Amino acid sequence: MYWTGLKYYSLTRRNLRLPPERLKARQWRAMQELVDFAWRKVPLYRQLYESAGFTPDQLRTPEDLLRVPPTRKAVFQQADPDSVIARGYHREALIRRRTSGSTGSPLNVYYTPEDRIYRTLIHLRILFHNGMGWRDLMAHISDSRHATDERYSFQKLGFLPKEFVYAADSPEDQLQALEAVRPAVIYGYASSLALLAGEVEKRGGSPLRPRRIFTTGELLNPSDRVRIERAFGVQVRDIYGLVEGGDVAWQCPAGDGYHLNVDSFYIEVDAGGRPAGPGEAGRLVITNLHSRAMPFIRYEIGDVLTPPQDEPCPCGCTFPRLQVIQGRADDWLHSADGQKVSPLIFVVASIPGVMQYRMVQEAYDQLRVEILPGPGYSEETLNQVGIHVREVMGPGLTIETVRVEAIPKDPSGKMRRVISRIGVNA
Ligand SMILES: [Zn+2]
C-alpha cells in the first residue's frame, strides 16, 4: 500500500517537469475518455447529452468543447442522487464530502478511497515542491469536522506528522497551541491565519518560526498576506482547491501566479459563451479528470480568473500559471450602478486599529463594514475605513461602519470577508 502510494507519488511528481505539449496531449486524451465514460456510465450525463443532441464522437478538438453541455452545482442537486454516480460504483463504498455551502446549499460529493489517495498525493506534491520534508511537523488549523478523516496510518511511523489546531478556538488559544508544538509548517484558512497574525501583533511577537505557511479555502487578500508574512517572518503560499476535485492551482516558490494541475484537471475560462482571451477575465469551468465515481465535467464554478499562461517558471514546474484568481463567486461587491468590485482591492486590514473586518452588502445601495478593533483603535479608525471604502466603491452607496466584538464564521468554519446578498450568482 505504501509502496503503491510512493510509486504514484513519484509519477505525479515527475509530471511537474513534463514538456507542456506532452501534458496538453495527455490532458486532452483524458478529457475525451472521461466524456465518453460519462456518456456510457453516468445516467445524468447520458440524459444531459442526449437532450442536447451531443455524442462523444463529436468531441475531436478542444474547439468542440463548447458543444458539450456544461453542468453546475444545481444540476447535481436537482438530479436523482443515483443518477450522478457511475454504474459499477456503490455509494456505500465511496467517501462523501460536502461542499461548504458558502455559495448556497451544500452538495454531497462522492469519490473512491483510491481517489482520496490521489487527492492526497497531488496535495503533498504542492507542499514538497514548496520545500516541506517528510518529517516536518505540520500544524493544520482546521474545523474539527475534517480532522479525523485526514489521518493516515503512516503518520504513526513518524512520516508527515500532523497536529490539529481548532479554528473555532480563540486566537489566543490557537497561538498557544501552535507555540506548544512548534510546527515547521502551518496550514489553514486565510482568515484563520490573518486572525493569528493579529494576535501576534497584539502580543508584540511570537517565538513561532514556521518555515512555510500555506493558506487555502478562501480568497487570500493581499493585505492579509502581508500581515501574515510580517507576523511569522515567512512567505505564504496559497492553494486553490475545491471539494469537487481537490487542489486545483497553487503558488510555487517563485511566488508569481498559481500553477494549474493540468495532469488532474481541464480548465476553461468562459467569457460569456466563448473562451476568454489572454489576460481577459472570465468564469472558471472545470473538469475533474481524476474522479470517475461522480464525474464533474465542464462544471461551472463561477469564480473569476484569467486564462492560464504557458511561460516557463523559475521554479522548474512546467504547469501553466494563472496570474490572478480575482474572486470566489460569492466574494464580489457591487457598486451602486451594478459594476462588480473585487474584494482584493480593499486595504481595510492595513488601516491602523483594524484587527479584522467583514463587508456585508444587502443591496446595491447598502454596504455595512464591520470592524473588529485591534491595537491602535480609535474613533478615527472607523472614519478612515469609511473614507477608503467610499473611494473604492464610488458614489450612490450608503456605507455604514460599525465596531463589533466578534466576526462570526460560516457554518463551514471559514470566515468570509465579503458577504453579498444581492444574489447575482443565483
Ligand atoms: Zn513555479
Question: Is there a single domain that holds both residue 12 and residue 104?
Answer: yes
pTM for the model stands at 0.81
Identity of the amino acid at 238: D
The residue count for the chain:
426
β-bridge pairing 333-334 and 340-341: antiparallel
The closest alpha carbon to 307, from 293, 328, 286, belongs to 286
Please say which residue of 310, 327, 344 terminates a domain: 327
The CA 16 to ligand 1 mean position distance, Å, reads 10
The CA 254 to ligand 1 mean position distance, Å, reads 5
Q: Looking at residue 392, which CATH number applies to its domain?
A: 3.30.300.30
CA distances from 58 to 53, 61, 300 (A): 10, 9, 21
The string of pLDDT tens digits covering residues 360-415 is: 998 889 999 999 888 889 989 999 999 989 988 888 899 999 999 888 776 655 66
The CA 55 to ligand 1 mean position distance, Å, reads 38
* Number of neighbours of residue 4 by Cβ within 10 angstroms: 10
Residue 171 located in a structural domain: no
pLDDT at 353: 87
The CA 128 to ligand 1 mean position distance, Å, reads 13
The grid cell for 289 is 479528470
Residue 152 located in a structural domain: no
Q: Looking at residue 300, which CATH number applies to its domain?
A: 3.40.50.12780
Domain around 6? 2-117+241-327
Distance, in Å, from the CA atom of 350 to the CA atom of 224, rounded to the nearest integer, reads 8
The CA 288 to ligand 1 mean position distance, Å, reads 22
The closest alpha carbon to 356, from 220, 166, 233, 198, belongs to 198
Please say which residue of 283, 306, 327 terminates a domain: 327
Question: Is there a single domain that holds both residue 303 and residue 342?
Answer: no
The CA 253 to ligand 1 mean position distance, Å, reads 6
Distance, in Å, from the CA atom of 91 to the CA atom of 84, rounded to the nearest integer, reads 10
The CA 229 to ligand 1 mean position distance, Å, reads 19
The CA 58 to ligand 1 mean position distance, Å, reads 35
The CA 126 to ligand 1 mean position distance, Å, reads 10
Distance, in Å, from the CA atom of 405 to the CA atom of 397, rounded to the nearest integer, reads 25
The string of pLDDT tens digits covering residues 270-279 is: 988 899 988 8
The string of pLDDT tens digits covering residues 205-227 is: 889 999 999 998 777 878 889 99
pLDDT at 426: 34
Question: Is there a single domain that holds both residue 105 and residue 8?
Answer: yes
pLDDT at 326: 67
The CA 316 to ligand 1 mean position distance, Å, reads 6
Question: Is there a single domain that holds both residue 308 and residue 254?
Answer: yes
Question: Is there a single domain that holds both residue 296 and residue 339?
Answer: no
The CA 293 to ligand 1 mean position distance, Å, reads 31
The grid cell for 92 is 456505500
Residue 268 located in a structural domain: yes
The CA 209 to ligand 1 mean position distance, Å, reads 24
Distance, in Å, from the CA atom of 398 to the CA atom of 359, rounded to the nearest integer, reads 13
The CA 332 to ligand 1 mean position distance, Å, reads 28
Consecutive 10-residue runs of the chain (426 residues): their mean pLDDT?
70 90 96 98 98 96 95 91 96 89 73 93 94 93 61 71 86 93 94 89 91 87 88 94 94 91 95 87 92 96 85 94 71 81 75 86 91 88 92 89 85 71 57
pLDDT at 39: 98
The grid cell for 119 is 487527492
Please say which residue of 272, 306, 327 terminates a domain: 327
Half-sphere exposure for 257 (CA within 13 Å, toward CB): 22
The count of domains in the chain is 2
Residue 83 located in a structural domain: yes
Sheet with 258-260: strands ordered across? 162-166, 138-142, 185-189, 212-216, 236-242, 246-250, 258-260, 321-322
Question: Is there a single domain that holds both residue 373 and residue 319?
Answer: no
The CA 130 to ligand 1 mean position distance, Å, reads 9
Residue 138 located in a structural domain: no
Virtual torsion, Cα 264, 261, 35, 85, nearest 10 deg: 50
